[in-house]
């Protein structure tokens, strides 16, 4: 277990927490007065406000006896009261305090299936949906089932959010890497996947699934429809499971791209349920609402034979994987938010638009800032919540990192943290093409703070380059 | 993985769900008109009302903008508003939507430590507390650390709630069983533990920890102070970790017994932190409040060396084990409920007393009912939520079970389910002394329903015995 270091909670984060403690105990002892958290997709901790409708419904579901009280009708919107009532009616015993079905409360899964149908224009079935505590439990269940030994492999993008590498390691399988092409905006090249697939097979590895993260984490690209079709075709032809990480489906910032689920793409191509095994992961920690610690999410599992579907159910039961009730309810809300005509609709849509348009502005400002630095190139943030700029580090900096026995990008990130208080994650934690170095930085800082932070990064970078430039 | 069947979600439960579905599709097709759920500690699904104060605070924490509104002051109690304000002040960013520290929000852990101090009269430290999603993640973390190979063993009571056997199997260790003595009210005999410890050692197994469940699940006994002292002494002498499952600490029904934590016992004996490694597990799914699907809980970890403590922290970080925010807040509330003088105190204490005294009455009624059946003996339910009566099955029933290739108690439980709709768990799922047969039945049925259910059980049992008696 100890082998699988989890980058997003790794050494940099531990050190940042230590510095934060030091600032508290001994203010003025460091060259900055606060730690700037750019290492984690944690928007509400950085001041983002929650979506009112979601919070009202969650509060009311816990207080069924309040629903008919006149004070409640003054305090809460009519549609949040109505929605809470509907949800309670769907729960056996009308209580949020009981254990539910292994897959989660059936009525909530029906709401989610309906939301998926609305999104895709193709049918979705509540029986295919497993409500989970965030996306991780679903990923672990699938890995547990797919990986029988180290001779079973999973194709994963490089770079990628390390949940997948950690889960593959934990379940004793082999990670088969395919590299995203930074030069074409983190393009997913089918030829690269095919050649890695063949290389793995020639080593005796049975490739069982392909992981695709769309929009990308940490890379921020949104796949084109054509690219998605190629991926579906490949999985169909090679007989491998498509594991689609679609947790950032609501976070798209560029007008020329839009999110389309792999299920929609597959069905649009005429592939039916029986033609292709496909799992889609969704989580409430992501999205514009960013309800991280509510731990909600689902996986939609389609295209498996009845006996494998039964195995999935069995593993989910053993893991007692059913998620906390707040997360279950919230997942149903994000997949079925207020509609035009509902009392909350205007507030809801203003809140949503406010958050998404602000994220788009922040992404743009930070992209420009990174691109203006010497030796730094940063692809467009089309979606998700992160920038992943490449740092062309001078040879002298690489040597200095070697003498400290850390990766060059970790060396850069530690320097940045120690001198400015800004915490980012080194690219090493996500995997990268050998000899290239990156950092992952969220786009979640409060807008008013961004100019000052950009200046700190620029000043640091200049000083760093002055120190190490040839 | 597939080896570890989890009894409480096993074949009986699956079959009960199938029958429930059948009743819905085709009412009147079975000899009963509802499934009576006695297989799971799930009180609110059976009509138990939540504790108002807990629910008010949870609702308000999600709606910080409501705290100052006059309508809210009319709807919510003053101390729940005050408490929500305090809790929000403890959370960085004053939001329930962010990720927290790996161990959970520090301020909430401080409240819990304070609650433990109040309970025990000995100090507790927030740094020793890990907030977890129920008790299971804590148990898994400890097993992951304690079990290096199948040559590492954990002493577990027989019978016991199968979380422990499942977790030991999952982490590749060896379960070293010690039998509880049914004849002395499920007494925990030190001589039995010692002889099993030595037997394990003679087979080359290093025994690393002792699991004690107090109050017992499924056995319902509450340990005496003297017995707890003997256990502490044994762990100290043998150098093994004490894993104390104390999730039913609030559920004690008999006036001559009271719950005392193992930490209190150890400290009262003069053993300090350094003298004995001790982990205490607590969960919000249990207790009088029974907030099952909120998934909250903690483990308090004391007496480990600094490097092992660091390993625990590391494994917790890798597992991203920090629990959902609702569970974290609720855990702080149950460990620090309203006090005399608070506006909510009277309602709170009436609700708590109402639930606990009703549980005590139900336990007594059901004990008497089981004891009045031919060939059935049932120990006193001193605590927790279950009866575990022994069924002295006739030889003919045992033969019939053999011919169906199932355990005799599973045979009995399936018959009970099919003929009456009452779902209980066969003792086999918890382990039992060879040749003895039990069922586990919760004490959570609504009081008004109990007489009719008791009659159904009695009629079934009589018919069963008539069919199989000698």
Contact A348, A53 (CB under 8 A): yes
Mean pLDDT of B32-54: 89
User: What pLDDT score was predicted for residue B411?
Assistant: 96
- pLDDT on residue B325: 87
> Does residue A349 carry a pLDDT above 70?
yes
Q: Chain A contacts of B133, Cβ < 8 Å?
A: 133, 295, 324
Q: Which CATH architecture has domain A94-334?
A: 3-Layer(aba) Sandwich (3.40)
E strands, A148-265, are: 152-158, 174-179, 206-213, 241-245
Neighbouring residues of A312: CB distance < 8 A, sequence distance ≥ 6: A130, A141, A142, A145, A301, A304
Q: What's the pLDDT at A313?
A: 87
Tokens describing residue A444 = 């979640």
Note the helical H segments in A223-278.
Answer: 225-238, 262-268
- Rounded average pLDDT over B8-18: 80
Please state, as a whole number, how many other Cβ atoms lie within 10 Å of the Cβ of residue A34.
Answer: 12
Confirm whether B52-93 and B100-334 share one CATH topology. no
Query: Would the pLDDT of B399 be above 90?
Result: yes
**Per-residue confidence (pLDDT) for residue A319, from 0 to 100:** 64
Chain B residue closest to A67 (CA)? Answer: B75
In terms of DSSP bridges, do strands A278-283 and A297-302 run parallel, antiparallel, or are they unpaired? antiparallel
Task: Pull the structure tokens for residue B54.
Answer: 């807990």
How confident is the model over A414-427, as a mean pLDDT? 96
* Beta carbons within 10 angstroms of residue B313's beta carbon: 17
Report the C-alpha gap between B85 and B96 in whole angstroms: 12
Is residue B53 a contact partner of residue B337, using CB atoms and an 8 Å limit?
yes
Q: Give the model's pLDDT for residue B294.
A: 75
CB A242 within 8 A of CB A231: yes
Mean pLDDT along residues B323-327 = 85
Q: Which CATH architecture has domain A7-34+349-468?
A: Alpha-Beta Complex (3.90)
Among A67-76, A327-336, A413-422, B283-292, the minimum mean pLDDT is found in B283-292
Residues A76, A78, A81, A84, Cα dihedral to 10°: -120
- Kind of pairing between the strands at B129-131 and A129-131: unpaired
Residue spans of the domains in chain B: they are 7-34+352-468, 52-93, 100-334
Altogether, the residues listed in chain B come to a count of 470
Choosing among A98, A173, A325, A330, which should be mutated to test the B contact, i.e. which has the most B CBs within 10 A?
A98
Chain B residues with CB-CB distance to A6 below 8 A: 317-318, 320
- Chain B residue whose CA is closest to A144: B1
Q: How far apart are the first and last CA of chain A?
A: 41
User: DSSP secondary-structure letter at B465?
Assistant: H
pLDDT of A5 over the 50 cut: no
What percentage of chain A reaches a pLDDT higher than 90? 80
Q: Which residue of B has its CA nearest to A318?
A: B6
Q: Tokens for B66, please give them.
A: 């409501």
Contact A50 B95 (CB under 8 A): yes
Q: State the pLDDT at residue A1.
A: 36
Least confident of A35-49, A392-406, B423-437: A35-49
pLDDT band per the 50, 70, 90 thresholds, residue B320: low
Output the pLDDT for position A399.
97
pLDDT digits (tens, 9 = 90+) for A283-338: 988 888 888 777 899 999 999 999 889 888 888 876 655 578 889 999 999 999 99
B270: number of Cβ within 10 Å? 7
pLDDT band at B319 (very low <50, low <70, confident <90, very high): low
Higher-pLDDT residue of A438, B288: A438
Q: Rounded to an integer, what distance in angstroms lies between the CA atom of residue A397 and that of residue A395?
A: 5
A416 touches A424 (CB < 8 A): yes
DSSP A172-183: T-EEEEEE-BGG
The pLDDT tens digits of the residues spanning A356-398 come to 999 999 999 999 999 999 999 999 999 999 999 999 999 999 9
Phi, psi dihedrals of residue A372, rounded to the nearest 5°:
-85, -5
Enumerate residues 6+ apart whose C-beta is below 8 A from A54.
Answer: A289, A291, A330, A333, A334, A337
Q: Do B324 and A326 touch (CB under 8 A)?
A: yes
Is the predicted ipTM greater than 0.90, yes or no? no
User: Minimum mean pLDDT among A260-264, A333-337, B101-105, B206-210: which range?
Assistant: B101-105
Other CB atoms within a 10 A radius of the CB of residue B377 amount to: 14
State whether A58 and B62 contact (CB < 8 Å): yes
Q: How far is A448 from chain B (nearest CA, A)?
A: 16
CA B47 to chain A, closest CA, distance in angstroms equals 6
Q: How far is A267 from chain B (nearest CA, A)?
A: 31
Residues of A in contact with B291 (CB under 8 A): 97
Substitution target in A4, A62, A171 with the highest count of B β-carbons within 10 Å is: A62
Cβ separation of A45 and B93 shorter than 8 Å? yes
CA atoms within 13 A on the CB side of A173: 28
CB contacts of A1 in chain B (<8 Å) are 144, 315, 318
What does DSSP assign to residue B438? B
Q: Is B370 exposed, middle or buried (0-12, 13-18, 19+ CB in 10 A)?
A: buried
Do residues A378 and A388 make contact, with C-beta atoms less than 8 angstroms apart? yes
Chain A residues closer than 8 Å to B4 by CB = 318
Over residues B98-110, the pLDDT tens digits come to 777 889 999 999 9
What pLDDT is attached to residue A98?
78
Mean pLDDT, residues A141-151 = 93
What pLDDT is attached to residue A460? 98
Positive or negative torsion for Cα B94, B97, B103, B109: positive
Interface touch A318/B144, C-beta < 8 Å: no
Report the distance separating Cα A326 and Cα A50, nearest Å. Answer: 15
* Best to test chain A binding among B95, B137, B313, B442 (most A CBs inside 10 Å): B95
Mean pLDDT score, A93-115: 89
**Nearest-5° Cα angle at B365, B360 to B371:** 125
Quick check: A467 pLDDT over 50? yes
Instruction: Tell me the two tokens of residue A261.
Output: 């689920």
Residue B290 confidence class, pLDDT cut points 50, 70, 90: confident
Structure tokens at A39: 């290492």
- Count CB-CB contacts under 10 A for residue B110: 18
Name every chain B residue with its beta carbon within 8 A of the beta carbon of A71: 71, 74-75
Question: Is residue B129 a contact partner of residue B112, using CB atoms and an 8 Å limit?
Answer: yes
Tokens 């809980």, located at residue: B297
Q: Look at residues A143, A145, A151 and name the one whose alpha carbon lies nearest to residue A170.
A: A143
What are the tens digits of pLDDT across the range B147-171? 999 999 999 999 999 899 989 988 8
The confidence band for A85, taking pLDDT boundaries of 50, 70 and 90, is: very high
Q: What pLDDT, in 10s, does the model give residues A109-134?
A: 999 999 999 999 999 999 999 999 88
A390-404 pLDDT tens trace: 999 999 999 999 999
Phi/psi class of residue A64: alpha, beta or left (left: φ > 0; alpha: ψ in -120 to 50)? alpha
Contacts of B65 in chain A (CB under 8 A): 52
> Nearest CA of chain A to the CA of B266: how many Å?
32
Position B315 scores a pLDDT of 81
| Residues of chain B contacting residue A5, judged by C-beta atoms under 8 Å apart | 318
B2:A93 CB<8 A: no
Residue ranges of E strands in A246-316: 278-283, 297-302
pLDDT exceeds cutoff 70 at A159: yes
For the residues B432-447, what does the mean pLDDT come to? 94
Pairwise CA distance, residues A115 & A124, whole Å: 9
Residue A187 DSSP code: B
pLDDT category of residue B7 using cuts at 50, 70 and 90: low
Nearest to B382 by CA among B275, B243, B258, B299: B258
Of residues B55, A76, B330, the one with CA closest to residue A84:
A76
User: Inter-chain contact B285–A99, Cβ cutoff 8 Å?
Assistant: yes
Q: What angle do CA B17, B23, B29 make, to 5 degrees?
A: 125
Chain A: nearest CA to B191, how far in angstroms?
A: 34
Closest chain B CA to residue A320: B9
- Give the angle B36-B42-B45 at the CA atoms, nearest 5°: 70
**What residues in B contact A59, CB-CB < 8 Å?**
58-60, 62-63
Check A47 against B93: CB less than 8 A apart. Answer: yes
Q: Render pLDDT for A172-220 as a digit per residue (tens, 0 to 9).
A: 999 999 999 999 999 999 999 999 999 999 999 999 999 999 999 999 9
Residues A116 and A109: beta-carbon distance below 8 Å: no
- CB within 8 Å of B449: residues ≥ 6 apart: B36
For A84, phi and psi rounded to 5 degrees? -60, -40
Give the containing element (helix H, strand E) for B155. Answer: strand B152-158
Contact B62 A66 (CB under 8 A): no
In the predicted model, what is the mean pLDDT of chain A? Answer: 93
What pLDDT is recorded for position A9?
A: 59
Residues sharing a CB contact under 8 Å with residue B325, sequence separation 6 or more, in sequence order: A293, A294, B61, B96, B97, B100, B105
> Are residues A48 and B97, on separate chains, in Cβ contact within 8 Å?
yes
Residue B242 backbone phi and psi in degrees, to 5 = -100, 115
Strands B386-387 and B174-179: unpaired
Q: Where are the beta strands (DSSP E) in A14-143?
A: 36-37, 129-131
- CATH for B7-34+352-468 (3.90.1150.10, 3.40.50.300, 3.30.230.10, 3.40.50.2300): 3.90.1150.10
Residues B318, A136: C-beta atoms closer than 8 Å: no
**For chain A, what percent of residues have pLDDT higher than 70?**
97
pLDDT given at position B423: 95
| Fold of the B52-93 domain | Helix Hairpins (1.10.287)
Which residues of chain B lie closer than 8 angstroms to A44, CB-CB?
93, 95-98
Lowest model confidence (mean pLDDT) among A309-323, B188-202, B230-244, B441-455: A309-323
Contact A9 B317 (CB under 8 A): yes
Q: Which residue in A26, A6, A3 sits closest to A14, CA to CA?
A: A6
Spatial CA neighbour of B385 closest among B443, B445, B447: B443
Q: What is the CATH number of domain B100-334?
A: 3.40.640.10
Measuring CA to CA, which residue among B456, B181, B128, B138 is closest to residue B322?
Answer: B138
Of chain B, the end-to-end C-alpha distance in Å amounts to: 41
Taking an 8 Å cut-off on Cβ atoms, the answer to whether A42 and B99 are in contact is: yes
**Facing residue for A97 by CB, picked from B63, B96, B292:** B292
Residues B9, B392, B378, CA angle at the centre, nearest 5°? 70
């Amino acid at each position: 277990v100890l082998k699988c270091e989890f980058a997003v909670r790794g050494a940099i984060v531990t050190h940042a927490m230590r510095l934060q403690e030091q600032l508290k105990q001994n203010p003025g002892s460091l060259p900055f007065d606060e730690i700037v958290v750019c290492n984690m997709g944690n928007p509400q901790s950085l001041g983002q406000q929650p979506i009112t409708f979601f919070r009202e419904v969650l509060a009311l579901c816990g207080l069924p006896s309040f629903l008919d009280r006149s004070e409640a009708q003054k305090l809460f919107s009519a549609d949040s009261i109505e929605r809470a009532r509907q949800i309670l009616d769907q729960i056996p015993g009308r209580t949020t305090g009981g254990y539910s079905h292994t897959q989660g409360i059936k009525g909530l899964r029906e709401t989610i299936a309906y939301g998926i149908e609305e999104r895709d224009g193709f049918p979705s079935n509540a029986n295919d949906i497993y409500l989970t505590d965030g996306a991780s439990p679903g990923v672990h269940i699938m890995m547990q089932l797919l990986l029988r030994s180290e001779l079973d492999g999973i194709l994963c993008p490089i770079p990628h959010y390390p949940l997948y590498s950690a889960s593959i390691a934990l379940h004793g399988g082999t990670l088969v890497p395919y590299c995203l092409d930074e030069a074409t905006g983190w393009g997913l090249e089918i030829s690269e996947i095919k050649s890695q697939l063949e290389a793995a097979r020639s080593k005796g590895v049975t490739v069982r699934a392909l992981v695709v993260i769309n929009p990308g984490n940490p890379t921020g690209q949104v796949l084109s429809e054509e690219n998605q079709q190629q991926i579906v075709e490949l999985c169909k032809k090679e007989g491998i499971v498509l594991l689609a990480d679609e947790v950032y489906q609501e976070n798209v910032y560029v007008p020329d791209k839009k999110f389309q689920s792999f299920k929609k793409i597959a069905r649009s191509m005429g592939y039916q349920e029986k033609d292709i095994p496909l799992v889609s992961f969704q989580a409430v920690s992501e999205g514009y609402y960013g309800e991280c610690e509510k731990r909600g999410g689902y996986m939609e599992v389609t295209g498996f034979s009845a006996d494998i579907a039964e195995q999935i159910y069995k593993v989910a039961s053993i893991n007692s994987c059913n998620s906390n009730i707040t997360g279950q309810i919230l997942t149903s809300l994000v997949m079925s938010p207020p509609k035009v005509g509902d009392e909350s609709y205007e507030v809801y849509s203003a809140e949503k638009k406010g958050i998404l348009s602000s994220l788009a502005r922040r992404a743009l400002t930070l992209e420009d800032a990174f691109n203006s630095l010497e030796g730094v190139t940063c692809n467009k943030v089309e979606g998700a919540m992160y920038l992943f700029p490449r740092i062309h580090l001078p040879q002298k900096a690489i040597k200095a990192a070697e003498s400290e026995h850390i990766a060059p990008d970790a060396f850069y990130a530690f320097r940045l943290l120690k001198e400015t208080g800004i915490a980012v994650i080194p690219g090493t934690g996500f995997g990268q093409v050998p000899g290239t170095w990156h950092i992952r930085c969220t786009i979640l800082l409060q807008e008013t703070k961004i100019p000052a932070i950009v200046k700190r990064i620029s000043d640091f970078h200049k000083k760093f380059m002055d120190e190490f430039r040839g």
